[in-house]
Amino acid sequence: VGAFLFSTYTSMYASAKAGLLQYTRSMATEFAPDGIRVNALAPGTVDTDMVRANPPEAQERMAGAALLRRAAHPDELVGP
């Protein structure tokens, strides 16, 4: 989410996320002619130690911003 949205005091975090998104897009363009796909996951809030370190109100606000109105569980981000 940090690649798409902004908030005060998150400049380094948001810059890193945006950089990874652009890196993924560039890699996808470079490898597409060889039939190689490059993808990025941007799930929004995920139930991690970093999220749980925030006050409960902040955790609720982050989860409420997600389309499912909850934080994702890390197991939900695993693919085939």
- Read off the tokens for 73: 């569980």
The answer to whether 13 is a known catalytic residue is yes
Q: Which of 6, 13, 23, 31 is catalytic?
A: 13
Active site residues per annotation: 13
